[in-house]
């Protein structure tokens, strides 16, 4: 058990936010705090910077960086000076003597994730050089932007000139065939039907009645039309010499 020495009021202090790794990418930030701090070994100093993300889904989140400006390792000092030069070019300040001159000026920082899952800064550039996110190609709707033809009032419209119809000579004109006019049934003359002559129906031989021949005694003698022969056996039409 440890005595705090006084009653701590948490409502008067903002709680710290848990560490959250940012996805890799470019973020628009501004430097909100900076100071020179000694190195852990005590042989140099580095510029510590706190940056705030200005927009996007991670707006308000913090990004940190430190530049080993004073260090016995010359290579580490050169890397830090080139990084500070990139920040100066990004905010438009070529000569600075105090890090506060770089505060609250927007710039872009490139953030990556290292093998241990922590964010690291890997470069700075002006906001104007930011690469915007790819957007779908814009395809304007033609029907929406097409202007409809404006009709002029009748007094301003030009009359339509009708072309004269050329009539062909009579010898080239085809005769018009008149269709017969069909009169209504009440005005049509009744058609006189001709009587149909029925042909006698010939019955088969087995159904025909036999012709009855009269006996010879009832038959009338056939009268000859030839003149009777003259006496002497010579007809009246034959003369003897």
Burial of 114 (0-12, 13-18, 19+ CB in 10 A): exposed
Predicted confidence (pLDDT) per residue in 4-38, tens digit: 878 888 998 888 777 789 999 999 999 999 999 99
Residue 173 has pLDDT above 70, yes or no: no
Q: What is the pTM of this model?
A: 0.49
Spatial separation of the C-alpha atoms in residues 76 and 45, rounded to whole Å: 11
> Residue 181 has which token pair?
């006019």
% of the chain surpassing 90 pLDDT: 45
Instruction: With CA atoms as reference, report the closest residue to 67 among 45, 43, 50, 52.
Output: 45
Q: Does domain 21-129 have CATH number 3.10.50?
A: no
Predicted confidence (pLDDT) per residue in 55-75, tens digit: 999 999 999 999 999 999 999
pLDDT reported for residue 223: 55
% of the chain surpassing 70 pLDDT: 53
Residue 69, C-beta contacts closer than 8 angstroms, at least 6 positions apart = 36, 45, 46, 47, 77, 80, 81, 84
Least confident of 5-19, 32-46, 172-186, 226-240: 226-240
Residue spans of the domains in the chain: they are 21-129
């Amino acid at each position: 058990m440890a005595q705090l020495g006084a009653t701590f009021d948490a409502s008067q202090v903002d709680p710290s936010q848990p560490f959250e790794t940012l996805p890799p990418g470019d973020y628009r930030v501004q430097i909100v705090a900076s100071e020179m701090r000694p190195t852990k070994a005590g042989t140099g100093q580095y510029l510590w910077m706190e940056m705030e993300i200005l927009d996007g889904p991670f707006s308000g989140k913090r990004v940190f960086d430190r530049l080993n400006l004073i260090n016995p390792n010359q290579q580490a000092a050169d890397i830090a000076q080139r990084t500070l030069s990139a920040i100066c070019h990004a905010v438009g300040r070529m000569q600075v003597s105090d890090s506060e001159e770089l505060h609250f000026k927007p710039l872009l920082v490139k953030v990556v994730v290292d093998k241990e899952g922590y964010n690291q800064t890997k470069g700075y550039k002006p906001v104007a050089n930011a690469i915007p996110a790819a957007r779908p190609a814009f395809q304007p709707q033609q029907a929406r932007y097409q202007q409809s033809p404006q009709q002029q009032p009748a007094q301003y419209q030009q009359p339509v000139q009708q072309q004269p119809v050329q009539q062909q000579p009579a010898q080239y004109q085809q005769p018009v065939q008149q269709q017969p006019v069909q009169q209504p049934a009440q005005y049509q003359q009744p058609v006189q039907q001709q009587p149909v002559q029925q042909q006698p129906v010939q019955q088969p031989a087995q159904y025909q009645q036999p012709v009855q021949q009269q006996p010879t005694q009832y038959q009338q003698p056939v009268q000859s039309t030839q003149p009777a022969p003259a006496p002497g056996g010579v007809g009246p039409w034959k003369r003897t010499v």
